Amino acid sequence: MARLGVLLFLVQIVLAVCALISCLSAEEDQIRSLPRIAWVLIILFFPLVGSIAWFVAGRKPNSGERKGWPGGTGTAQRQQPRPVAPDDDPEFLSSMQDRAKQQDQELFQRWEEDLRRREDDLRRRDGEPPREEDRPEV
């Protein structure tokens, strides 16, 4: 008989802890009848009755929408699209490719200008006239 009493006591404590956690984590618009602090005090002072009262009358029933685990596959409809990681976003990837192409073109132009400048410097040093395409137009 003592084991049954201990078991019922443990069930009452577990129920009170669950009710307390549920009450403290509920949004303000999900709490009915009394303010949150009143529900917490009722659950603490009358664990069995307060816990049952919280689950029956203290919180609004779910609107048929079930929430899944965070990061898991729940059945709830997502109201806002999840942010996409940059490496999964096609627009971001295409912009990165465009930027890389533009940077490559700018780099090649600088190299080409540097190469022409060096060739002209070498020609001037050797006494050769500059190339036809490099001569300024008159």
- Give tens-digit pLDDT for 88-102: 788 888 899 999 999
Phi-psi region of 38 (alpha: psi -120 to 50; beta: other; left: phi over 0): alpha
Give CA–CA dist 39/33, Å, rounded.
Answer: 9
Rounded distance, CA 121 to CA 119, Å? 5
Sign of the alpha-carbon dihedral angle for 45, 51, 52, 53: positive
| Residue among 60, 57, 19 at smallest CA distance from 41 | 19
pLDDT tens figures, 42-85: 999 998 999 999 989 888 776 555 555 555 555 555 566 666 77
pTM of the model: 0.45
Q: What does the pLDDT read at residue 67?
A: 56
- Give the phi and the psi of residue 59 in degrees, each rounded to 5: -120, 150
> What type of residue is 100?
A
Say what the pLDDT of residue 90 is. Answer: 84
For residue 39, the one-letter residue type is W
- Take residue 89 and report the two structure tokens written for it: 């976003």
Q: Which residue has the tokens 């664990």?
A: 47
> Is 124 within 8 Å of 118 (Cβ atoms)?
no
d(CA 113, CA 107): 10
